[in-house]
Structure 1
Amino acid sequence: MPGIGSGLDQGGWQFPKIKPGDVRLLVNFELPGIPGRLAETGGSDINTQILHARIAYSPAVWITAAAIPLMLLAPALWNGYPLLQWDTGGYLARWYEGYLVPSRSTAFGLYLHFGEDSAFWINLAIQALATLWILQLTLRVLGMAQPLRLLAISLVLILTTALPWLASMLLTDIFAGLSVLSLFILAVHGERTSTPEKCLLFGLTAFAAATHSATLGVLLGLCAVGWIARPFSRGRISIAGLTQGSFTVVAGAALLLSTNFALSGQLAWTPGGYGVAFGRMMQDGIVARYLGDHCPQQQLKLCPYRDRLPATADQFLWGNSMFNTLGRFQGLNDEMGFIVLHSLAEYPAWQAKAAFAGTAQQLVHVATGEGSNVWLGHTYGIFEHFLPAQLEAMRAARQQRGHLDFTAINTIHVPTALASMLLAVILFGHGLRLRPFDDLTLLAGTVSLALLGNAVICAVISGPHDRYGARMAWLATLVVLIAAFRHFAGSDEPSRPA
């Protein structure tokens, strides 16, 4: 077929390039849901080559669009029910209980309530389709939009990272990584997206910020670094893009406050910050030291228990400890806040050392499945109390019958995550040495900073957990895969728009 060139990215997918002289008219490709446009190039009649291009690429588009969501939801399909986690019940209960509890976003609770009638499969469908869209859009703005390339990268991510387990689970974690990519696209490559896409990116990022305080903190930190780095980016980061990205964090905070008010009548932030930080300080030995130094003078509820504090924050907050005896968050919140603030003032060097050590530990805590292969007593109780119609299906799932084991899976996931994180940082460092640096350097830098920010926030506030690392580590693998495809296959268009 004469006149077919290397390829032209249109609307997120690659179509054959038609040389000048082949097309005279302005032509719109109309693959379902994928608008595209060929510029007027002059020449004779069109039709045959355009029709052949559409026929040739339609199967790849449809295969990719169908296969990736199914592969992302393979764990849930195997399980026979959406995967649950220890924290799932706390989110589910927000609609029914009508009050705020520590670290449980009402925005995410409403999102889960929306899918209850479908046994939460609609939630998983949203998560899988959002993941497909963000991956496709990321490749498109980087000039790598080809269906089979998207399929190959997605397949590697599904086989070697926590991504399908995150997409198959009723938990906020899938939105943590997706929001980093959506913020990157909105802030750095907004000019390569349409107005509807910008609106969807804004909404996804704002919703993700409202689902978890750590996610909001990571996004806020990325925006702050973006504003600091913008004068040195040689125009690669625009004021308009950063402004839009920054407003997503504001919108996310407003969304959380609104849902908190709607469900509880309180215009307040989700509680629990002091309690979670207290647990981390107790685990590091700081609380015991403070009680030992001040109990003779201060009448604190915890003083009689200062020699019997649990070894870990999880045992204190969620186990059978004196925390329950003393009224949990309602009975101890003020005292925990008092100890946290005064411990920061009295032991700053110890706090800094503990924060540094915790961050280092969090960076290597990346195993998949934490909190989902144990007895989920609280979540089961929420189902029994508020969702009895789903008990039979939930109990019949393989997860609830003890068939979920991540030991073999993590022999692949953990080394992949650690190697990818290291390579992403190397790619970022290498790209900074080049002037001007390219889009891949910006993406590698964004992901590297997100991983570091996530580690700092989670380690300092609640202590290192594999769950917090796994929800972000797949981003580093994506960066490495993009770099590999660029190196061996090249991109479909220049790194910067003409």
Structure 2
Amino acid sequence: MVGPLTGGYTIKTQVLGARRADTRSVWIATIAIPLLLLAPAFWNGYPLLQWDTGGYLARWYEGYLVPSRSTVFGIYLHLGEQASFWLNLGIQSLATLWILQLVLRVLDLARPVRLVAISLALIATTALPWLSSMLLTDIFAGLSVLALFVLVLHGARISALEKAALFVFTAFSAATHSATLAVLLGLCCVGWIARPWLRRQIPLAGLAQGSLTIVAGAVMLLAANFSLSGQLAWTPGGYGVPFGRMLQDGIVAQYLRDHCANEKLKLCPYRDQLPPTADDFLWGNSMFNALGRFQGLNDEMGFIVLHSLAAYPAWQAEAALAATADQLMHVATGEGTNGWIPHTYGIIERYIPAQLAPMRKAKQQQWQVDFTTINRFHVPVALASMLLVALLFGRGLWRRKRDDLTLLAGTVTLALLGNAVVCGVISGPHDRYGARMAWVATFVVLIAAARAFTGDDEVDDLLAP
């Protein structure tokens, strides 16, 4: 027969044993997850590089502003040069672990075993480890959406120090890329619009703090631009990016055919020779080079972009809708991460020659990185996750549920749509833009699965404070 004292001793032993097991799980998660997030870089033997990496690296050394290359991210990369950029990858993997566990914690799913299980699923099925292993802004796009969600909607459930860290992280993320800033700004605008109907779910203080991260990110970018270039100016986006998308849609060629008889434009002699894609025009061996690239053609591209919007409004609207839909379908992992990235190689050779030897030994530079097999799995997972998270949001709206899972699904659905509009309409659809956000949808689906199939067990009740 077990007496009251014996029974109490047994329960206390179980609690202590469970606490020790949880402590071990925490340490395992803290060490293993960041290492697994960097598995692609370890396998490669060097941080993964991309077409655009060189443009960011050069900002510290060249001292002038170029279109779409954030000086904030350039400074961030420069800080990791002496450590062969492994410092940057360490920051990215630890930030990923931090944000993932923070979201799970505010949703009351913070058991280490769940964090490990969900993290392993993301590592195995999404672009997340490839993004965290790469010297590019893309890892901060999805993480910043989750950070903004926690800061705005669940600020009361985290400490003052965590709130301050989230604020700085979100502001930094916004400053790394104009598209990320635009998506975060859009989410904040939706928050202000929805707040009259969701006063209890969207605290005024949280929404104000979230909105201020956009301001802080803008100030951060302006300060970095001034410190490196002496110009108190925004990073130039130029008209090249939207011009390229309109060229790809055939709008530029039509404008030139319709107006070259009355307007003297540098591109008029080439109106029947324009390349088929924006990438061919901007980065290939096209007439863009002969006409002075951005410096020589930016004013003319701006003129054509603005006047073609007025000349063909219906065509522009149709093209924008098509580009948005197309961008939602472009989610493959690894675009621009192969052996042919001459500009990035050239920047490293010119400014960071000490990195040449380890870079050249990497598998990527030996043309051993191939995403064909990976994307046979990643693409359907990403597309299915995006559909499921939209359905989760729609189901919540239909049932008039305003719980935290519905709000998270709504935040991510709107972020995916905003990302598709910003990137698809302005830049034209690219897999890179979709892959950097699609993994967040998979994360939400995994959270929903944990909610549906994993209830609180006895140990959870015992460990509750």
TM range (shorter): over 0.9
Give the corresponding residue for 1:442: 407
1:490 CA drift (Å): 3.1
* Separation of aligned partners in 2, 1:374 and 1:226: 42
What letter corresponds to residue 175 of structure 1 in structure 2? F
1:375 aligns to 2:340 (yes or no): yes
Contact 2:333 2:435 in 1 (8 A): yes
Q: Which string of whole-angstrom CA distances, capped at 9 and with x for unpartnered residues, describes residues 310-336 of structure 1?
A: 100001111111111111111111111
Contact 2:37 2:123 in 1 (8 A): yes
Contact 2:68 2:236 in 1 (8 A): yes
1:55 CA drift (Å): 2.2
1:50 CA drift (Å): 7.2
Give the corresponding residue for 1:210: 175
Contact 1:144 1:491 in 2 (8 A): no
Contact 1:234 1:436 in 2 (8 A): no
Contact 1:157 1:477 in 2 (8 A): yes
Give the corresponding residue for 2:368: 403
Q: Which string of whole-angstrom CA distances, capped at 9 and with x for unpartnered residues, describes residues 232-270 of structure 1?
A: 125111111100000001111111111111111111111
Give the TM-score taking structure 1 as reference length.
Answer: 0.88
Secondary structure of the residue aligned to 1:76 is helix
When the two chains are superposed, the root-mean-square deviation of aligned CA atoms in Å is 1.8
Query: Which one has more relative contact order, counting CA pairs under 8 Å at least 6 apart?
Result: 2
Q: 1:374 to 1:293 in 2, by over 3 A?
A: farther
What does 1:381-460 align with in structure 2 at a 5 Å threshold? 381-460=346-425
Give the corresponding residue for 1:71: 36
Secondary structure of the residue aligned to 2:239 is helix
Q: Alignment partner for residue 270 of structure 2, among 305, 320, 325?
A: 305
Q: Which string of whole-angstrom CA distances, capped at 9 and with x for unpartnered residues, describes residues 286-323 of structure 1?
A: 11111111111111111111111110000111111111
Contact 2:339 2:364 in 1 (8 A): no
Give the corresponding residue for 1:291: 256
1:56 CA drift (Å): 2.9
What letter corresponds to residue 27 of structure 2 in structure 1? W
1:198 aligns to 2:149 (yes or no): no
Give the corresponding residue for 2:49: 84
Structure 1: which 5+ runs fail to align?
3-21, 23-43
Contact 2:171 2:214 in 1 (8 A): yes
* Separation of aligned partners in 1, 2:139 and 2:203: 28
* Separation of aligned partners in 2, 1:369 and 1:228: 36
Give the corresponding residue for 1:158: 123
What letter corresponds to residue 489 of structure 1 in structure 2? T
What letter corresponds to residue 490 of structure 1 in structure 2? G
1:53 CA drift (Å): 5.0
Q: 1:491 to 1:280 in 2, by over 3 A?
A: farther
* Separation of aligned partners in 2, 1:484 and 1:48: 31
Q: Alignment partner for residue 226 of structure 2, among 250, 261, 266?
A: 261
* Separation of aligned partners in 2, 1:489 and 1:234: 30
Contact 2:339 2:365 in 1 (8 A): no
Give the corresponding residue for 1:38: none
What does 1:99-118 align with in structure 2 at a 5 Å threshold? 99-118=64-83
Give the corresponding residue for 1:472: 437
Contact 1:183 1:245 in 2 (8 A): yes
Contact 2:392 2:406 in 1 (8 A): yes
* Separation of aligned partners in 1, 2:455 and 2:108: 9
Comparing 399-408 and 435-444, the one that deviates more: 435-444
What letter corresponds to residue 272 of structure 2 in structure 1? D
What letter corresponds to residue 298 of structure 2 in structure 1? N
* Separation of aligned partners in 2, 1:56 and 1:279: 56
Q: Alignment partner for residue 130 of structure 1, among 74, 95, 101?
A: 95
Q: Alignment partner for residue 317 of structure 2, among 330, 348, 352?
A: 352
What does 1:479-498 align with in structure 2 at a 5 Å threshold? 479-490=444-455
What does 1:244-283 align with in structure 2 at a 5 Å threshold? 244-283=209-248
* Separation of aligned partners in 2, 1:330 and 1:374: 29
* Separation of aligned partners in 2, 1:397 and 1:328: 32
Comparing 70-79 and 224-233, the one that deviates more: 224-233
Q: Alignment partner for residue 314 of structure 1, among 270, 279, 303?
A: 279
1:166 CA drift (Å): 0.1
Contact 1:143 1:491 in 2 (8 A): no
Q: Alignment partner for residue 147 of structure 2, among 172, 182, 188?
A: 182
The count of aligned residue pairs is 452
What does 1:22-41 align with in structure 2 at a 5 Å threshold? none
* Separation of aligned partners in 1, 2:236 and 2:258: 28
1:85 CA drift (Å): 0.2
Contact 1:95 1:263 in 2 (8 A): yes
1:206 CA drift (Å): 0.4
Secondary structure of the residue aligned to 1:221 is helix
* Separation of aligned partners in 2, 1:459 and 1:263: 30
Give the corresponding residue for 1:330: 295
Q: Which string of whole-angstrom CA distances, capped at 9 and with x for unpartnered residues, describes residues 405-462 of structure 1?
A: 0000001100000000000000001111234421000000000000000000001111
* Separation of aligned partners in 1, 2:276 and 2:363: 32
Give the corresponding residue for 1:339: 304
Contact 1:119 1:390 in 2 (8 A): yes
Identity %: 73
* Separation of aligned partners in 2, 1:176 and 1:162: 13
1:54 CA drift (Å): 3.9
Q: Alignment partner for residue 229 of structure 1, among 191, 194, 213?
A: 194
Q: Which string of whole-angstrom CA distances, capped at 9 and with x for unpartnered residues, describes residues 27-50 of structure 1?
A: xxxxxxxxxxxxxxxxx9x99787
Give the TM-score taking structure 2 as reference length.
Answer: 0.95
1:274 CA drift (Å): 1.0
* Separation of aligned partners in 2, 1:357 and 1:316: 21
1:341 CA drift (Å): 0.7
What letter corresponds to residue 369 of structure 2 in structure 1? L
Secondary structure of the residue aligned to 1:411 is helix
* Separation of aligned partners in 2, 1:51 and 1:417: 41
Secondary structure of the residue aligned to 2:34 is helix
* Separation of aligned partners in 2, 1:392 and 1:436: 57
What letter corresponds to residue 349 of structure 1 in structure 2? A
